[in-house]
Structure 1
Amino acid sequence: MYRISELAQKVGLSRTALLYYEKLKLISGVRLDNGYRVYSDKDVQRVLLIQTLQAAGLTLKECKGCLEAKIDRTLLLNRLEQLDKEIAQKQHSRGVLAALLGEGDHRAWHENASQLAPDAHLDWLIKQGFEEKEALRLKWLSKDMNEHQDYMADFMKVFETLERWGPGSAEETLIALNKVPITSHHILEIGAGKGLATEVLANNTHAQITAVDNEQSALDRLSERFAQEGQTDRINPVCASMTDLPFERGSFDLIWAEGSAYIMGVETALKQWRPVLKNDGVIMFSDLVWFTEDRTAEAEAFWKGEYPDMQSIDTRLKQIKVAGYTIVDHFPLSRQAWKNYFLPLQQRAKELTASMPNSNALNDIKTEVSIYERYLDQFGYEMFIIQKIAK
């Protein structure tokens, strides 16, 4: 027999807790002639069993019901479902903490953060010590803070010999230029890369062209291209961020952005680029869009991770109008424009496979090329020519 203090010590509970157990008739002591209440081994075992049931998430009242009657299966199934949800939440919480500490699945965390809060995610990356250029590359390319440098070294190795860093063609750049309803004198090209579109603009207008990119090596190649053609007096290469353009208000009558607006988000780009554009000025931008609602799960899952803000053409057109522009025209890039990009990229990937067998960057590029090859009927680039409405 055990006095209440001895029972409390044996089961690891306080005297107050045991008195509450007795009030609920979970245990029942026997009062001796000397006034002390004592408890048996049966009470000890009953308390231990109650503690086991409590650990499963049952209340004391529910524990009493389980001990004194048949098991309430509905009750237990509800508790099990609730516990599974709590476990899943805890596992998710652990995954987030592990990713922040440099462990676990970095890519999944960065993709999820970019989908839920793209601007806040980018600000957070910058606060972790990344310059904006590298933060953007981490957000869109490596998605892993620990392996970012190695990833980008491999990525640049793949692209360093390639002229095109995105789908396009001189013919379709010219088609878009011919749809521009004004005569341009000052063009701002955003995301100029190595100058393929710049060359079309220079050869088919008399405008001064400011070519902006945040990759100096690409601008160096652009400068070489125009030096060879004797046109350096018309081209002004500027290494700068598209998110913080260093130009006065109303400096340009035409902004040209092939495949670059997605980096900061199309809606954000249309808003932030607007001040440097003259009234009635024109923007030509291309964006990756869905062509159909009938999409394969593989293509949809891939682009959800790579470009969460990918929209249908109709959605983009609505966003353009809300941003204060009229739509002049729009048309899709041809399959040939895609081949101009991904066939050389595919060949380059094959050449490097033996020397880069464990490269995450190379494997990601191969996956992307495979998506292009199989699903180009479901998505593609749309060229949008839009004109600023003066306010």
Structure 2
Amino acid sequence: MYRISQLAEKAKLSRSTLLYYEKQGLLDGTRQANGYRRYSDKDVQRLHLLQQLQAGGLTLQECKSCLAGKVERSLLEQRLRQLDEDIAQKQQARTLLAALLGEGSLRPWHQQTDKLAPDAHLDWLKLQGFNEKQALHLKWLSKDMNEHDQYMADFMTVFQTLTRWAPGSDADSLKALSLLPSTPQNIIDIGCGKGFSTRLLAQHTKAQIVAVDNEQSALDELGKRLAEQALDSRVTLSCTSMTALPFSPSSFDCVWAEGSAYIMGVEQALTQWRPLLKEGGYMVLSDLVWLTDSPSDEAVAFWQGEYPDMQTVEKRLTHMRQAGFAVIDHFTVSQTAWSDYYQPLKARVAQLIPSMPNSTAIADLTREIAIYERYLGEFGYHMFVLHKET
């Protein structure tokens, strides 16, 4: 016979645990005349059996049922399903922790986090040591902070020799300009890149223009081209973030943003950039949109990863009206705008594949080109010409 302290030692359990088991009817000691409990070898073995059942993930009450009679198969099946779910969750947690330590890809996590909490995700990336430019590139391009530096190096290797960095054409930009009721005198071109629209605006207006981008190399190239065309006197180059523009309210009578508003979110861009406009000012922006209400599953899956906030034209028009703009006109950019971008890109990727066979950036661009070739028409860039309402 064993005292409770001796039983606790043999079973490697605490005295309070044994008292709790006894209260739950899992253990039945004999109380002696002196008030002390005594336990037998049978009680020791019952505890060992209880521990073996618990090792299968059974609760105390389930163990009690198993000790009292025949084990119910349905109970074990239910517990097995629950255990499989727990294992899957813990494996998912382990995969994430390993990835955060650099032992795996963080792409799925970044994509899901950016979809659920884009602003919080951006702020968190900055806390991890990325500046805003790097964080935005990570959100939209590399999607993996462990591989970001290599990804961006490969990405810039692809694009450094290309003229256009996004779909667009002079004809579409000039069409949008012609739809403005009056010619603007002060224009800010946000996300200008290498400055195709900037140069067109300088050529076809007499406006003072501020060209904004966070990629200094693109601005440097734009500056050279403007100088060559003697257009530099009316254009100021500003390497700054589109999310924190250092300009006073009512500084411009036109905000121009081709293919760039998505970086900070179109709705946020409409709200943040509107105060820059004088009363009655104009905004011209283009955005990637769905052109059908029933796009192909493959196209949807691809753009859900690349541009989760992609909307239909009607949805974007609603956003613009809600932000305080009247819609002057809108149109889908031409096929030329796409081919002028993708044909040189496709040739450049094909040229680099032999020397960069394992590049994630090259693989991403290859998938994007394939989606463009298969499904263009289900989606496209759309130009919106807007008027600031008072």
Who is 2:384 aligned against? 384
Q: 1:225 to 1:73 in 2, by over 3 A?
A: same
Q: Which amino acid aligns with 2:285?
A: F
Q: Which amino acid aligns with 1:253?
A: D
CA contact (8 A) 1:325 1:388 kept: yes
Q: Where do 5+ consecutive residues of structure 1 fail to align?
A: none
Q: CA-to-partner distance for each residue in 1:167-188, whole Å, 9 max, x for gaps?
A: 0111111111111222211111
TM-score (structure 1 length as normaliser): 0.93
Number of residues of Structure 1 aligned to a counterpart in Structure 2: 389
Q: 1:245 to 1:24 in 2, by over 3 A?
A: closer
1:3 to partner: Cα distance: 4.6
Who is 2:276 aligned against? 276
Who is 1:348 aligned against? 348
1:158 to partner: Cα distance: 0.5
Matches within 5 A, 1:101-250: 101-250=101-250
Structure 1 window deviating more from structure 2 (249-258 vs 3-12): it is 3-12
CA contact (8 A) 1:99 1:109 kept: no
Q: Which amino acid aligns with 1:270?
A: L
Matched, 1:315 2:318: no
1:33 to partner: Cα distance: 9.2
CA contact (8 A) 1:4 1:15 kept: yes
Q: Which amino acid aligns with 1:126?
A: K
CA contact (8 A) 2:188 2:252 kept: yes
CA contact (8 A) 2:203 2:231 kept: no
RMSD across aligned positions (CA): 2.1
| Structure 1: distance between partners of 2:33 and 2:222 | 102
Who is 1:286 aligned against? 286
Matched residue of 1:303: which SS?
A: helix
CA contact (8 A) 2:254 2:277 kept: yes
CA contact (8 A) 1:4 1:39 kept: no
Q: Where do 5+ consecutive residues of structure 2 fail to align?
A: none
1:326 to partner: Cα distance: 0.8
Matched residue of 1:380: which SS?
A: strand
Identity, in percent, stands at: 58
| Structure 1: distance between partners of 2:89 and 2:181 | 55
Matched residue of 1:331: which SS?
A: strand
1:121 to partner: Cα distance: 1.1
Who is 2:40 aligned against? 39
Matched residue of 1:292: which SS?
A: coil
| Structure 1: distance between partners of 2:327 and 2:60 | 67
Matched residue of 1:315: which SS?
A: helix
Q: 1:229 to 1:38 in 2, by over 3 A?
A: closer
Q: CA-to-partner distance for each residue in 1:78-120, whole Å, 9 max, x for gaps?
A: 4344434433333333344333333333111211221111111
1:235 to partner: Cα distance: 1.8
Matched residue of 2:338: which SS?
A: helix
| Structure 1: distance between partners of 2:55 and 2:299 | 45
Q: 1:19 to 1:223 in 2, by over 3 A?
A: closer
Matched residue of 2:149: which SS?
A: helix
Q: 1:228 to 1:31 in 2, by over 3 A?
A: closer
